[in-house]
């Protein structure tokens, strides 16, 4: 979704802002813009589409710029008003002296807009953001102090905002403010940054101050002051970012998505590191702050998440129920919020989110907290809003994920749930010790098994070419891999725009079978050694009888599969409950290679955003 960077300091301001926006590009956007203080002027540049257009525009107009000392930049993912130049940020007040960039949604913007029009403000765009420009300018005309104007203005805003403001009459000052949308300060030497997310600043500084809700940052090149909305100064801690700039490089891979798929063995090792060190010893999960008695008395677990993280939750249901005997409900956050849930203090609510900023999940988590549930967050962003709401926090440490399509964060979240399940089972005594030892032993082998898949992807690439011209796909599975079917279909849809749907294999004959013919390939997930293999095989035969082209994703060496299926993708054998870790990898690769073969924008699929910060 939208991204913000503000910079004031000794470097080339245009370059810093453009590189900051480039590092936020992965979030998804449809226009970009920046405002620069050049001498006593403020100059605004905006373009539609990709950032390269803004770069070209600035290159063409660089002779107009003389002495740029600070600036604010933005990439916009349209919410209010179409993606157009007039709706792109920065927005200005009527006289053009004040500029603002904004992430979030102002819910009372219509009322404010009417009031401001009555006061003579001239609106140019359809955005909710433009009200902020006029509102602050209006307050500034009364207070003659930008800081106070912002304090007075944010008090009138309802909804979510992270804003950066500059004013022509207040040289060399950028003010930021936030409520329900992330914002941080990058602290430098003779320079400072304001950004909506860490990748925007990581090239320049690791020293960060995270703004909390209702805080305002007053930033010059030599100072950063954080105040509350009453103007009281707050003493904030400087934190050191855990990321390295190298995380934002493709390291020779054609796309971040492929690089991140290949990082997965190490990502799994990272998750296991320090938690399983000896199969005879209990799992160490200090992050879980529930005492053992509470774990023993838990009545229910609710998992809330969206998209790929929701699929993690669906796997986790099988794992946690199997390992602990506790009943688990899984629901899309955007639906959970409409239910009168039976959540109470004996419920463990788990929010799953790679970004930790997904608005629907944050709302659902707040609802669960209000019902006194213990909230555990599983996320790749321990610095996120969601992490700050957590009673317990499991950071999955997958490293920054740049590709919009989640891959390594998915596998890291999955592995974290296996560890959580074992931890709880050890507290409750629900699994016998031999089973536990074997399970841990197999979990430790997982990185090597994923490496085996990644070391030979020829058959997946050939399959991708063969099937790239199909317009529709069905993925089927049963049991713990039903979520793998959903996730495989989602990945394919996201990056290749091919219509793909995951179905419980048993449901095929209750409706979807009507769609089957030679134009509708079916990918069956057949993990051997468990209770679902034979049944999924029968369902695949039913599909074959309707002339569907068949792909098997299997850990079985049974040769009869080669005559039934058009393509057989083989993966290493693991016990069925662990197989989603193995089965998800070929699904990711298939989606990647089909999209790459079709020439799609793999890392930044159209219309998608990495952090979905609006409900
Ligand atoms: O950051 P989150 O995990 O909360 O994001 C949830 C979904 O928006 C996300 O998983 C989305 O489905 C991705 N595009 C998956 O590739």
Tell whether the model's pLDDT for residue 1 goes beyond 70: no
Pairing between strand 91-92 and 374-379? Answer: unpaired
Using one digit for the tens of pLDDT, what is the confidence trace for 61-103?
989 999 999 999 999 988 788 889 999 999 999 999 999 999 9
Tell whether the model's pLDDT for residue 607 goes beyond 90: no
Do residues 6 and 193 make contact, with C-beta atoms less than 8 angstroms apart?
yes
Using one digit for the tens of pLDDT, what is the confidence trace for 467-509?
999 999 999 999 999 999 999 999 999 999 999 999 999 999 9
Tell whether the model's pLDDT for residue 104 goes beyond 90: no
Do residues 152 and 143 make contact, with C-beta atoms less than 8 angstroms apart?
yes
Mean pLDDT of the chain, nearest integer: 94
**Ligand 1: which residue has its CA nearest to atom 4?**
353
- Which pairs with CB-CB distance under 8 Å and at least 24 residues apart come from 537-543? 537/564, 539/476, 539/505, 539/506, 539/508, 539/509, 540/476, 540/505, 540/564, 540/565, 542/508, 542/509, 542/513, 543/474, 543/476, 543/508, 543/513, 543/516
**Ligand 1: which residue has its CA nearest to atom 8?**
307
Mutate to test the pocket of ligand 1, among 309, 584, 588 (most ligand atoms within 8 A of CB): 309
Provide the pLDDT for residue 246: 64
**Ligand 1: which residue has its CA nearest to atom 9?**
307
Share of the chain above pLDDT 90, in %: 86
Provide the pLDDT for residue 245: 67
Do residues 317 and 344 make contact, with C-beta atoms less than 8 angstroms apart?
no
Structure tokens, 304: 């809330």
User: How far apart are the CA of 142 and the centre of ligand 1, in A?
Assistant: 44
- For residue 409, give the ligand 1 atom closest to its CA: 3
Who's near 572: CB < 8 A, 6+ residues apart?
449, 452, 453, 555, 582
User: How far apart are the CA of 307 and the centre of ligand 1, in A?
Assistant: 5
Total Cβ atoms within 10 A of residue 590: 28
Tell whether the model's pLDDT for residue 251 goes beyond 90: no
Q: What are phi and psi of 143, to 5 degrees?
A: -85, -25
Provide the pLDDT for residue 181: 85
Q: 518, 219, 212, 233: which is closest to 384 by C-alpha? A: 212
Mutate to test the pocket of ligand 1, among 308, 330, 587 (most ligand atoms within 8 A of CB): 308
User: How far apart are the CA of 364 and the centre of ligand 1, in A?
Assistant: 15
Q: What is the mean pLDDT of residues 322-332?
A: 97
Structure tokens, 170: 């207040």
User: How far apart are the CA of 441 and the centre of ligand 1, in A?
Assistant: 31
User: Which residues sit with their C-beta closer than 6 Å to ligand 1?
Assistant: 306-309, 353-355, 358, 361, 404-406, 494, 608, 611-612
Provide the pLDDT for residue 347: 95
Q: What is the mean pLDDT of residues 517-531?
A: 95
Beta bridge partners of 500: 473
Mutate to test the pocket of ligand 1, among 333, 354, 595 (most ligand atoms within 8 A of CB): 354
Residues in the chain: 615
- Sign of the torsion angle spanned by Cα atoms 199, 203, 209, 215: negative
Pairing between strand 567-570 and 550-554? Answer: parallel
Share of the chain above pLDDT 70, in %: 99
Tell whether the model's pLDDT for residue 20 goes beyond 70: yes
Structure tokens, 310: 């929701």
- Per residue, what are the HEC states of 233-285? EECCCCEECCCCHHHHCCCCCCCHHHHHHHCHHHHHHHHHCCCCCCCCCCCCC
Tell whether the model's pLDDT for residue 199 goes beyond 70: yes
- Sign of the torsion angle spanned by Cα atoms 122, 123, 128, 132: negative
Give the Cα separation of 449 and 443 in Å (integer): 10
Q: What is the mean pLDDT of residues 33-53?
A: 95
Using one digit for the tens of pLDDT, what is the confidence trace for 406-463?
999 999 999 999 999 999 999 999 999 999 999 999 999 999 999 999 999 999 999 9
Do residues 127 and 141 make contact, with C-beta atoms less than 8 angstroms apart?
no
Give the Cα separation of 298 and 295 in Å (integer): 5
Who's near 169: CB < 8 A, 6+ residues apart?
97
Burial class (CB in 10 A: 0-12, 13-18, 19+), 397: middle
User: How far apart are the CA of 491 and the centre of ligand 1, in A?
Assistant: 11
Give the Cα separation of 615 and 611 in Å (integer): 11
Using one digit for the tens of pLDDT, what is the confidence trace for 556-605?
999 999 999 999 999 999 999 999 999 999 999 999 999 999 999 999 88
- For residue 612, give the ligand 1 atom closest to its CA: 8
Mutate to test the pocket of ligand 1, among 26, 77, 306, 335 (most ligand atoms within 8 A of CB): 306
Total Cβ atoms within 10 A of residue 152: 18
Q: What are phi and psi of 313, to 5 degrees?
A: -60, -35
Who's near 152: CB < 8 A, 6+ residues apart?
139, 143
- For residue 305, give the ligand 1 atom closest to its CA: 4
Q: What is the mean pLDDT of residues 234-257?
A: 84
| Residue of 177 and 399 predicted with greater confidence | 177
Active site residues: 2, 610
Q: What are phi and psi of 529, to 5 degrees?
A: 85, 10
User: How far apart are the CA of 188 and the centre of ligand 1, in A?
Assistant: 32
Q: What angle do CA 36, 32, 192 make, to 5 degrees?
A: 45
Total Cβ atoms within 10 A of residue 509: 12
Tell whether the model's pLDDT for residue 399 goes beyond 80: yes
**Ligand 1: which residue has its CA nearest to atom 2?**
353
Q: What is the mean pLDDT of residues 233-247?
A: 82
User: How far apart are the CA of 610 and the centre of ligand 1, in A?
Assistant: 7
């Amino acid at each position: 979704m939208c991204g913000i960077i503000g910079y004031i300091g000794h470097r080339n301001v245009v370059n810093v802002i453009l590189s900051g926006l480039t590092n936020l590009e992965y979030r998804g956007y449809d226009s970009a813009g920046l405002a620069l203080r050049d001498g006593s002027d403020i100059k605004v540049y905006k373009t539609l589409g990709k950032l390269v257009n803004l770069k070209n525009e600035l290159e063409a107009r660089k002779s107009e710029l003389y002495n740029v000392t600070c600036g604010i930049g933005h990439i916009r993912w349209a919410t209010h008003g179409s993606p157009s130049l007039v709706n792109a940020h920065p927005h200005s007040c009527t006289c053009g002296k004040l500029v603002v960039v904004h992430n979030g949604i102002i819910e009372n913007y219509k009322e404010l807009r009417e009031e401001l029009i009555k006061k003579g403000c001239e609106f140019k765009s359809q955005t909710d953001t433009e009200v902020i420009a006029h509102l602050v300018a209006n307050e500034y005309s009364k207070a003659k102090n930008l800081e106070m104007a912002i304090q007075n203005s944010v008090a009138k805003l309802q909804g979510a905002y992270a804003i950066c403001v500059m004013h022509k009459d207040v040289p060399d000052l950028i003010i930021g403010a936030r409520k329900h949308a992330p914002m941080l300060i990058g602290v430098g030497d003779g320079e400072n940054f304001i950004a909506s997310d860490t990748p925007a600043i990581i090239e320049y500084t690791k020293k960060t101050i995270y703004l909390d809700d209702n805080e305002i940052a007053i930033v010059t090149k030599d100072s950063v002051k954080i105040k509350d909305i009453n103007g009281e100064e707050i003493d904030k801690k400087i934190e050191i970012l855990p990321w390295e700039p190298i995380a934002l490089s493709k390291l020779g891979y054609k796309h971040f998505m492929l690089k991140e798929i290949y990082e997965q063995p190490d990502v799994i090792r990272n998750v296991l590191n320090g938690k399983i060190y000896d199969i005879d010893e209990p799992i160490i999960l200090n992050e879980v702050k529930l005492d053992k008695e509470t774990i023993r008395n838990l009545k229910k677990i609710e998992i809330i998440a969206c998209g790929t993280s929701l699929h993690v939750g669906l796997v986790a249901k099988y794992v946690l129920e199997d390992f602990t005997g506790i009943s688990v409900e899984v629901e899309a956050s955007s639906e959970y919020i409409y239910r009168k849930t039976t959540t109470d203090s004996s419920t463990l609510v788990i929010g799953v989110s790679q970004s930790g900023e997904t608005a629907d999940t944050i709302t659902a988590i707040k609802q669960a907290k209000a019902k006194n549930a213990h909230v555990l967050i599983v996320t790749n962003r321990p610095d996120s809003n969601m992490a700050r709401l957590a009673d317990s926090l499991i950071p999955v440490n997958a490293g920054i994920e740049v590709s919009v399509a989640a891959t390594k964060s998915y596998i890291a979240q999955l592995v974290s749930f296996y560890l959580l399940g074992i931890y709880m089972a050890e507290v409750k005594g629900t699994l016998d010790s031999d089973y536990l030892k074997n399970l841990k032993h197999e979990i430790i082998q997982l990185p090597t098994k994923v490496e085996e898949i990644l070391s030979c992807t020829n058959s997946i690439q050939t399959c991708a070419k063969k099937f790239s011209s199909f317009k529709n796909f069905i993925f089927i599975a049963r049991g713990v891999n039903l979520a793998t079917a959903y996730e495989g279909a989602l990945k394919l849809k996201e990056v290749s725009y091919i219509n793909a749907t995951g179905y419980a294999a048993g449901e095929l004959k209750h409706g979807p079978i009507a769609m089957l013919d030679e134009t509708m390939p079916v990918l069956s997930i057949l993990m051997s050694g468990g209770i679902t293999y034979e049944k999924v095989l029968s369902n695949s035969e039913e599909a074959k009888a309707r002339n569907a082209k068949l792909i098997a994703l299997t850990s079985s060496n049974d040769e009869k599969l080669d005559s039934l299926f058009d393509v057989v993708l083989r993966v290493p054998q693991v016990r069925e409950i662990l197989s989603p870790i193995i089965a998800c990898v070929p699904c990711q690769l298939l989606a990647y290679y089909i999209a790459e073969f079709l020439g799609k924008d793999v890392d930044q699929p159209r219309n998608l955003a990495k952090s979905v910060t609006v409900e």
